[in-house]
């Protein structure tokens, strides 16, 4: 029989051919996922049929650790949640404790916090957005815009001595006012950064190749996003204008005039554009804070029982030495109570649920980590898309391993 | 709306429908907090989500809790109505001998991983959960580490005990 005749005997049909899928292990350490994420993908050729994420590779038991630590020592733990914008986590934690002990901060300290938080939001968003560029093949934006992140980190370094895991300020406010040269650095940043950001925007925002790669890639509807408890830029990209800074203002955000950008289709391009616009709005907030800030006055609340006194006073003043000793040794008891406080973190509503039984440590501390909650929608978002689209969907969701695994 | 008014509103609505299953209702700092009987927790959550006026359509957070007597576990829900900016906290407690409550995944898809995390750390069994297994810890682990009976550090060590300050 010839080949043609053999073919005719058993014609292949849907029933006789069993569909076979290819299993692809993406991660845990894959250069394209920017962090330790594992996804076991069931592939139909280049199309993703099913994805199973595995999380927990850098789980460090923060909630358990927090049950043994005095309040001041929990701040370094919060640094390591979303390490792209540590100051927001630090201040969120301070505000939770301040809510529990009912501390009132002076306006100046609150405005200083707003400046630092908005700077870290810019740092967070510019990492995310430039990395979307890298994943679509545009390395230039990433290399160019990263020097501005360095400038933000220089400002953090002046204030607290650290760049990435900042541990900035303390419960009740700041240890000192910012140095004069740091104020100049902040003013300079606000003046110079728009030019760089505009160049970065020109590079990507209306770039044909970039738009072809990102429009309609990894979309999520507003209903689905709410169902999955999305918050932050990812929710706003889907068209829901929820921002904690506006809904439940903290740290004097009600004094500022800014816009909450929203997208329409919740795809990678919208998430990118929402973050771009938020950087402009953050600059606007910093400008207003610099302009309207009280020029002098205390930079911390008047709560000697909980506020770690400045070193200068500790060495020269008996009272300060006693308070320092009591706080550092964990001898000051925090009142019993339970609070939930949330701040708008780099990628969503960062919440702290704190239960205190009146001891030196929290009885229970739970972090509401936005990444952990919205990453569970990832399999649904990439189902039926190409592998390369799954990579940029993940980078546009801004999943940070430290926050995901706590 | 003031938080006290919100507490009153939700409390009246719940009392009307689920009389007797509300164990307490109070305002803790800026949150109205309700403790609900375990038997009715799913009905209460479903009512809070679907009631036209309250419409708590967003599950902000779900986490576990162990009472200080180490005999009861709890699950704590934070619900949010974004349009009206209503937020409430709903709690339920049950004995550790039978840590089983109905899942909330049929109400909110986002509850999936939060419930897995609660199972992982506290051993709360969510009845009807589609995929109830450990999420952050390894599958081979045989304890639920956030329970108070599992101390943070090795208890056989005495070099770190705080004898000086008696705590």
C-beta separation of B129 from B113 below 8 A:
no
Query: Rounded to whole angstroms, how far apart are CA atoms B105 and A86?
Result: 32
Q: pLDDT class for A45, splitting at 50, 70, 90?
A: confident
Domain count, chain B: 1
In a domain, residue B101? The reply is yes
The confidence score (pLDDT) of residue A295 equals 86
Model confidence pLDDT, tens digit, residues A220-244: 999 999 999 999 999 999 999 999 9
| Distance from the Cα of residue A138 to its chain's centroid | 23
Q: What is the mean pLDDT of chain A?
A: 90
The confidence score (pLDDT) of residue A175 equals 87
Average pLDDT of the segment spanning A242-250: 92
Query: Rounded to whole angstroms, how far apart are CA atoms B133 and B112?
Result: 11
In a domain, residue B144? The reply is no
Facing A353 at nearest CB: one of B63, B112, B145: B63
C-beta separation of A106 from A370 below 8 A:
no
Average pLDDT of the segment spanning A54-67: 91
The confidence score (pLDDT) of residue A338 equals 93
Query: Rounded to whole angstroms, how far apart are CA atoms A113 and A120?
Result: 11
The confidence score (pLDDT) of residue A181 equals 93
The residues in A 32-61 lying below 8 A from B, measured between CB atoms, are 55-56, 59, 61
Segment (H or E) for A277: helix A268-292
Residue B148, Cβ neighbours under 10 Å: how many? 13
The angle formed by the CA atoms of residues A101, A104 and A105, to the nearest 5 degrees, is 120
Model confidence pLDDT, tens digit, residues B71-90: 999 999 999 999 999 999 99
Model confidence pLDDT, tens digit, residues A313-335: 899 999 999 999 988 887 788 89
The confidence score (pLDDT) of residue A222 equals 93
Closest CA to A55 of B116, B150, B144, B127: B116
Query: Rounded to whole angstroms, how far apart are CA atoms A58 and B118?
Result: 18
Query: Rounded to whole angstroms, how far apart are CA atoms A95 and A101?
Result: 10
CA dihedral for A110, A283, A267, A222, sign (positive or negative): positive
C-beta separation of A350 from A251 below 8 A:
no
Q: pLDDT class for B132, splitting at 50, 70, 90?
A: very high
Residue B47 to chain A, least CA–CA distance (Å): 16
The CATH number for B64's domain is: 3.30.460.80
The confidence score (pLDDT) of residue A7 equals 59
Residue B12 to chain A, least CA–CA distance (Å): 24
Model confidence pLDDT, tens digit, residues B10-53: 999 888 888 888 889 999 988 999 999 999 999 999 999 999 88
Model confidence pLDDT, tens digit, residues A260-269: 999 999 999 9
The confidence score (pLDDT) of residue A203 equals 92
Partners of residue B130 in chain A, C-beta under 8 Å: none
Interchain CB contact of A332 with B (< 8 Å): no
* Chain B nearest-CA residue for A53: B135
ipTM of this predicted structure: 0.92
Contact A340 B82 (CB under 8 A): no
Structural domain harbouring B27: 3-127
The confidence score (pLDDT) of residue A1 equals 60
Residue B15 to chain A, least CA–CA distance (Å): 24
Asked if the model's pLDDT at residue B167 lies above 60, the reply is no
Average pLDDT of the segment spanning A245-251: 92
Interchain CB contact of B118 with A (< 8 Å): no
Partners of residue B114 in chain A, C-beta under 8 Å: 373
Residue A41, Cβ neighbours under 10 Å: how many? 22
Facing B60 at nearest CB: one of A224, A229, A330: A229
Interchain CB contact of A339 with B (< 8 Å): yes
Task: Give the residue from A65, A330, A340, A401 with the most B CB atoms within 10 Å of its CB, the best one to mutate.
Answer: A340
Q: Which residues contact A121 (CB under 8 A, 6 or more apart)?
A: A85, A88, A278, A279, A282, A346
Tokens for A188? 């300079």
Interchain CB contact of B27 with A (< 8 Å): no
Closest CA to A90 of A70, A71, A69: A71
In a domain, residue B38? The reply is yes
Residue A374 to chain B, least CA–CA distance (Å): 8
Partners of residue A406 in chain B, C-beta under 8 Å: 136
All structural domains of chain A with their residue ranges:
3-53, 54-405
Coil, strand, or helix at residue B110? coil
Average pLDDT of the segment spanning B151-163: 64
Model confidence pLDDT, tens digit, residues A149-193: 999 999 999 999 999 999 998 899 998 899 999 999 999 999 999
C-alpha distance from residue A371 to each of A97, A220, A348, B113 (Å):
23, 16, 8, 11
| Least reliable range by pLDDT among A30-39, A307-316, A385-394, B138-147 | A30-39
The confidence score (pLDDT) of residue A52 equals 93
Q: What is the percent of chain A with per-residue pLDDT over 90, rounded to a whole number?
A: 71
- CATH 1.10.645.10 at A54-405, yes or no: yes
Partners of residue B145 in chain A, C-beta under 8 Å: 61, 64
Contact A68 B63 (CB under 8 A): no
Partners of residue A363 in chain B, C-beta under 8 Å: 68
The confidence score (pLDDT) of residue A11 equals 63
Facing B146 at nearest CB: one of A63, A340, A349: A63
In a domain, residue B65? The reply is yes
In a domain, residue B140? The reply is no
In a domain, residue B159? The reply is no
Tokens for B3? 């938080």
């Amino acid at each position: 029989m010839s080949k043609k005749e053999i073919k005719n005997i058993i014609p292949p049909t849907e029933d006789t051919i069993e569909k076979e899928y290819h299993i692809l292990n993406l991660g845990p350490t894959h250069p394209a996922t920017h962090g330790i994420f594992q996804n076991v993908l069931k592939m139909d050729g280049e199309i993703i049929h099913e994805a199973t994420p595995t999380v927990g590779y850098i789980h460090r038991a923060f909630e358990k650790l927090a049950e043994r630590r005095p309040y001041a020592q929990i701040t370094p733990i919060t640094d390591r949640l979303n390490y792209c914008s540590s100051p927001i986590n630090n201040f969120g934690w301070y505000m939770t404790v301040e809510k529990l002990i009912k501390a009132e901060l002076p306006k100046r300290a609150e405005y200083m916090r707003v400046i630092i938080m908005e700077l870290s939001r810019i740092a967070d968003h510019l990492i995310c957005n430039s990395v979307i560029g890298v994943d679509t093949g545009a390395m230039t934006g990433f290399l160019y815009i990263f020097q501005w992140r360095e400038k933000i980190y220089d400002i953090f370094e002046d204030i607290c001595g650290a760049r990435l895991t900042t541990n900035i300020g303390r419960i009740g406010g700041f240890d000192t006012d910012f140095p004069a040269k740091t104020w100049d650095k902040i003013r300079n940043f606000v003046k110079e950064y728009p030019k760089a950001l505009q160049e970065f925007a020109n590079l990507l925002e209306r770039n044909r190749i970039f738009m072809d790669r990102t429009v309609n890639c990894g979309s999520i509807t507003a209903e689905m996003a709410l169902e999955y408890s999305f918050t932050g830029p990812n929710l706003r990209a889907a068209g829901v204008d929820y921002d904690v800074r506006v809904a439940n203002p903290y740290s004097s955000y009600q004094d500022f005039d800014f816009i909450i950008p929203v997208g329409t289709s919740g795809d990678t391009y919208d998430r990118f554009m929402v973050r771009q616009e938020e950087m402009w709005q953050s600059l606007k907030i910093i400008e207003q804070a610099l302009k309207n800030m009280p020029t002098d006055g205390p930079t911390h609340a008047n709560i000697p029982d909980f506020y770690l006194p400045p070193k200068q006073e500790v060495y020269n003043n008996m009272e300060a030495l006693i308070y320092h000793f009591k706080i550092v040794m964990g001898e000051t008891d925090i009142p019993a109570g339970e609070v939930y406080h949330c701040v708008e973190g780099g990628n969503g509503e960062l919440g702290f649920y704190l239960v205190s039984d009146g001891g030196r440590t929290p009885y229970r501390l739970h972090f509401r980590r936005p990444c952990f909650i919205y990453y569970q929608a990832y399999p649904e978002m990439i189902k039926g898309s190409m592998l390369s689209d799954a990579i940029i969907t993940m980078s546009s969701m801004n999943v940070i391993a430290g926050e995901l695994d706590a | 709306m003031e938080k006290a008014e919100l507490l009153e509103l939700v409390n009246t609505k719940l009392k009307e429908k689920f009389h007797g299953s509300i164990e307490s209702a109070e305002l803790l700092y800026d949150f109205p907090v309700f403790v609900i009987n375990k038997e009715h927790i799913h009905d209460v959550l479903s009512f809070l989500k679907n009631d036209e006026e309250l419409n708590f359509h967003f599950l902000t957070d779900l986490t576990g809790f162990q009472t200080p007597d180490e005999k009861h576990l709890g699950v704590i829900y934070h619900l949010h109505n974004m349009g009206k900016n209503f937020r409430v906290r709903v709690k339920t407690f049950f004995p550790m001998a039978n840590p089983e409550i109905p899942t909330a995944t049929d109400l909110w898809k986002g509850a999936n991983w939060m419930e897995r995390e609660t199972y992982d750390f506290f051993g709360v069994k969510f009845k009807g959960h589609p995929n109830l297994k450990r999420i952050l810890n390894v599958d081979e682990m045989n304890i639920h580490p956030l329970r108070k009976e599992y101390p943070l550090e090795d208890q056989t060590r005495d070099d770190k005990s705080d004898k000086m300050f008696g705590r």
